[in-house]
Amino acid sequence: MLCEAVCGIVVETEGDQMLSVRGDSDDPFSRGHICPKAAALRDLAEDPDRVREPLRRQGDRFVPVSWDSALDEAAERLAAIQKQHGRDAVGFYLGNPTVHSYTALLTAPLFSKLLGSHSRFSATSVDQLPHMLAALEMFGHQLALPLPDVDRTAFLLILGANPVVSNGSLMTAGGIARRLEELRARGGRLVVVDPRRSETAELADTHLFIRPGGDAYLLLAMLHVIFEEKLDKPGDLTDITDGIGTVRSIAARFSPERVAGRTGIEADTLRALARDFAGAPTAAAYGRIGVCTQEFGGLASWLVVVLNAVTGNLDRAGGSMFSTPAADLVSAANVLGERGHFGVWKSRVRGLKEFGGELPVAVLAEEIETPGEGQIRGLVTHAGNPVLSTPSGNRLSVALAKLDFMVSIDIYQNETTRHANLILPTSCGLERDHYDLAFYALSVRNAARYVPAAISPPPGVREDWQVLLDLGIKLHQAGGGKRSHALYAALLALRSVGPRRTLDVLLRTGPHGKLFGGLSLSSLEKQPHGVDLGPLEPRLRDLLGKRRIALAPELLVADVPRLESALQATANGLTLIGRRALRSNNSWMHNSARLVKGPVGCTLLMHPDDARARGLSNGGRVRVRSRVGEVEVPLVISDEVARGVVSLPHGWGHDRPGAALKVAAAHAGASINDLTDPAVIDALSGNAGLSGVPVEVVAAA
C-alpha cells in the first residue's frame, strides 16, 4: 500500500472505524513483521487534513466543487492548451505512490497515451532509472531487474542501500533485518558499502566507508582483481553471454591502487573484498538508491550486474535472480513488444534523452520556464510531490506558479498541489483493494496476495483509476489529447469493466495461473494471508527469449571515459548525501503525529573532525549552502558519517505557504532538494544526481 516490503497486516475494524493494525504472523512471506508506517495507515484514513472532495483554487484559497464540474473544467482547460500550443504543452508527472496501487498502475499508462504528450515525467528519474537502463541494455527489457537471493546466498554485498530502514527497494523482502540475521546465522557474510554507518551497516560483518559516487570505481577494481587472479567463474549462461572480453579490458585499467584515493578504500581492502566475493560458494551484489542517484549511476548499476555475472552468480540460487511473479508484467510486455526504449526523443531545452517514454524530471522546471514551441503550460500530477522530491524544488515551485493550468490527483493540499487549479482526491491505503503488482515482480521469494479494502473511503473521493480514466475520456471529448479513436475506446472499455478484470487476466495467464489449480483473483481472495509460490528459480533464458546477454553494452562502455577522467577530481569541502528514517516515507507522511513525534527528524549529520574544523557544536543550527540554494537545520555531530560527508534526509520542508498540513507544518524541517542541483545528473541516463552534492556548512546567524 505504501511500502515495497508488502508485509501482511491484520486490521481490526468496527464498521469503518479502525481499531488496530498489527503484523500478520500467518503471512508466509513477511511472517508478522511490521514497521511504524503500517500503524500510520490509520492516520491517513483519519487525517482531518486529507482532501475529501474536489477543490478549486480561487486566489489563494481552495473551495469545494462537484466532481462533474471539476472534471469538465480540467478537461476543457487542458484540451484548450493542447489545441492552441500542441500536445506537448501539457505535462504529466507520476509520483511514487502510483506504483503502490495496482489500479493506478494499470490505468495511468492508458491516460498517458491518450494525453499524447512527450512532456512526461515520473519519480523514476530521481530513483531507479539507471537500474532500468542497465536492464534494458543488458537483457533487452527495462523491467528485467535482478534481485539478490537473500534467503539462500552465502555472501551479500550491499552498496548504497539501507534496507533495515527502507525495508528494501527493488528487493521486496518483508522483515529484512531478520533475513539478514538468518544469513549470518547460517555462516554467510554481509558487507555494506556506504558513506554512512547505516542501520544496515550496523548489522554487517564489514562496513566500508566509501566516498560518495565512488561505486563504479570500486566495482571495476573488484573486477580487475577477479580477472587478474583468474577468479572469474563462467556460469550456466556463458553460451548466451557476449562482451566479457570488453569488460575484462575495461577493468584492466582500474586497479585497486588507482582507485583507492577516489573510493576512500585502501587497495588491499578492495583486493580482499574481490577475493572474498568471488570465492564465496554463492554471492549476490545488490545496489540501490546510493548507487543510482549519483553522477555515475548508470555505470554503477551496470557493474553490479556484471560483478554477479562474472562470478557465475547471475540467475542461480544464492546469487542474483529474477522473480517469477503471478502477474508477470515482463512477460506480458514481451508479448506486446513493449520492452522499453531510450533516446527516441530528447528534451526540448537541454536535449536529455527520454527513457521508456519519460523525460528526466531534472528538466521539468526549465521546460516550464523556457518560452518557445513545446513549452509546458499545463500540468497533471498524479500522486507526486516534485517540489519536495526533485532537484531544486524551490525553483520548480516558482515555475509551477506560472503555469496556465494545473490539476493534481492527490490526497493532500501540499507543497506541490497548492499550485494546482484543481485537486482531485482519491481513496488511499486501506480504503481500496490491493495487489502488489509491481513488487511481487521484485520479490526475493515468489508470493501473491490480494486483499479487499478494509474500510470505506470518504464519500467525496473517487478511486484513482476512475479519476484517471474519466479525465482522459473527458479530455478526448473536449478535443484534446491524441485524436485516436482506438485509445478512446480502450479508455471507455476499461472504465466500464475496471482494472480488477485486467488483474484477473494477468493472474490467470501468468506463470502460476495454470499451476496450483489455476491462480486467479477469486482463488487469491480465498487466501487473504497470501500464498507462497516458492523460492526464486532460474529464468533468465526464458525472459530473454532469443536474445543474448550483453555484458558490455555499447552505450555503457561509451560512458567509461567520463568515469576515467573524473578519477582525477579531488574532493575539497563537504559532500552532501541523503538519508531515510523508519518514521518517514518520502515527503508525504509527516502529517501523522505518530510518525513525527520524538526526536527531530530533519537534522544534518557531520563528522566530529569536520565540525571541529568549522567551530560547530552539536545541536546548533547550521546553514547548508550549495550552488542552487541554502537551508537551515540543526546539526548532529556523529562519526557515523565519513569525514567530508554530511547527510540530510529528504522529504522535509513543510513550511511553504498554501499547503494545508498542520502536523507537518509544526515539524517542517527543510528540504534537501532546495540544495540538489538539476544541472547535476548522471550524464548517461539523465537520472538526477541527488547524492554527492558539494556544499558549505556554516553556523546559522
* Residues forming the site for ligand MGD (CB under 6 A): 95-97, 101, 123, 126-127, 159-163, 165-167, 169, 193-196, 198, 210, 212-213, 215, 288-291, 294, 382-386, 389, 409-412, 414, 426, 428, 464, 577-578, 580, 582, 584-588, 650-651, 672-673, 676, 690-692
First to last CA, the chain: 43
**Cβ closer to ligand MGD: 175 or 290?**
290
Place of cell 531544486: 392
Tell me which of ligand MGD, Mo ion, none is bound by residue 446, counting a contact when its beta carbon lies within the kind-specific cut-off of 5 to 8 angstroms: none
Contact at 8 Å (CB) between 406 and 431?
A: no
Which helix (H) or strand (E) is 694 found in, with range?
A: strand 693-699
Decide: residue 571, CB within 10 A, 0-12 exposed, 13-18 middle, 19+ buried.
middle
Instruction: State in angstroms the smallest separation of the CB of 672 from ligand MGD.
Output: 4
**Cβ closer to ligand MGD: 299 or 672?**
672
Instruction: State in angstroms the smallest separation of the CB of 300 from ligand MGD.
Output: 8
**Cβ closer to ligand MGD: 365 or 543?**
365
Contact at 8 Å (CB) between 23 and 7?
A: yes
3-state DSSP call for residue 477? Answer: helix
Side by side, the strands of the sheet bearing 155-159 are: 206-208, 189-193, 155-159, 284-287
Q: How far apart are CA 695 and CA 364, in angstroms?
A: 23
Q: How far, CA to CA in Å, does 153 sit from each of 4, 186, 337, 453?
A: 21, 10, 33, 36
**Cβ closer to Mo ion: 110 or 688?**
688
Tell me which of Mo ion, ligand MGD, none is bound by residue 162, counting a contact when its beta carbon lies within the kind-specific cut-off of 5 to 8 angstroms: ligand MGD
For residue 32, count other CB atoms closer than 10 A to its CB: 17
Q: What length does the chain have?
A: 701
Instruction: State in angstroms the smallest separation of the CB of 653 from Mo ion.
Output: 18
Instruction: State in angstroms the smallest separation of the CB of 665 from ligand MGD.
Output: 14
Instruction: State in angstroms the smallest separation of the CB of 40 from ligand MGD.
Output: 10
Tell me which of ligand MGD, Mo ion, none is bound by residue 689, counting a contact when its beta carbon lies within the kind-specific cut-off of 5 to 8 angstroms: none
Instruction: State in angstroms the smallest separation of the CB of 522 from ligand MGD.
Output: 25
Tell me which of ligand MGD, Mo ion, none is bound by residue 502, counting a contact when its beta carbon lies within the kind-specific cut-off of 5 to 8 angstroms: none
Tell me which of Mo ion, ligand MGD, none is bound by residue 244, counting a contact when its beta carbon lies within the kind-specific cut-off of 5 to 8 angstroms: none
Site string for Mo ion, 512-541 (x = CB under 5 A): ------------------------------
**Cβ closer to ligand MGD: 367 or 410?**
410
Instruction: State in angstroms the smallest separation of the CB of 268 from ligand MGD.
Output: 19
For residue 22, count other CB atoms closer than 10 A to its CB: 13
Q: How far, CA to CA in Å, does 665 sit from each of 96, 207, 527, 659, 662?
A: 22, 37, 41, 8, 5
Tell me which of Mo ion, ligand MGD, none is bound by residue 629, counting a contact when its beta carbon lies within the kind-specific cut-off of 5 to 8 angstroms: none
Q: Give me 77's grid cell.
A: 482547460
**Cβ closer to Mo ion: 120 or 512?**
120
Contact at 8 Å (CB) between 98 and 127?
A: no
Instruction: State in angstroms the smallest separation of the CB of 694 from ligand MGD.
Output: 13
Tell me which of ligand MGD, Mo ion, none is bound by residue 650, counting a contact when its beta carbon lies within the kind-specific cut-off of 5 to 8 angstroms: ligand MGD
Size of the site for Mo ion (CB under 5 A): 1
- Which of the stretches 125-133, 229-237, 332-340, 527-535 binds Mo ion when contact is defined by CB under 5 A? 125-133
**Cβ closer to ligand MGD: 196 or 348?**
196
Instruction: State in angstroms the smallest separation of the CB of 261 from ligand MGD.
Output: 15
Q: What is the distance of C-alpha 579 from the center of its chain? A: 14
Backbone angles phi, psi at 159, to 5 degrees: -120, 125
> According to the binding rule CB under 5 A, does residue 232 interact with Mo ion?
no
Instruction: State in angstroms the smallest separation of the CB of 408 from Mo ion.
Output: 19
Contact at 8 Å (CB) between 176 and 164?
A: yes
- Which of the stretches 119-127, 217-225, 232-240, 601-609 binds Mo ion when contact is defined by CB under 5 A? 119-127
For residue 534, count other CB atoms closer than 10 A to its CB: 11
> According to the binding rule CB under 5 A, does residue 127 interact with Mo ion?
yes
Instruction: State in angstroms the smallest separation of the CB of 5 from ligand MGD.
Output: 8
Instruction: State in angstroms the smallest separation of the CB of 355 from Mo ion.
Output: 16
Q: Give me 127's grid cell.
A: 530513483
Place of cell 537551515: 632
Q: Give me 269's grid cell.
A: 581492502
Q: How far apart are CA 300 and CA 510, in angstroms?
A: 32
DSSP for residue 570: P
DSSP for residue 655: -
- Which of the stretches 67-75, 121-129, 133-141, 451-459 binds Mo ion when contact is defined by CB under 5 A? 121-129
Tell me which of ligand MGD, Mo ion, none is bound by residue 691, counting a contact when its beta carbon lies within the kind-specific cut-off of 5 to 8 angstroms: ligand MGD
Q: Give me 107's grid cell.
A: 490505468
Q: How far apart are CA 95 and CA 368, in angstroms?
A: 18
Q: How far apart are CA 456 and CA 99, in angstroms?
A: 21
> According to the binding rule CB under 5 A, does residue 315 interact with Mo ion?
no
**Cβ closer to Mo ion: 175 or 651?**
651
In the complex, the residues that contact Mo ion under the rule CB under 5 A are 127
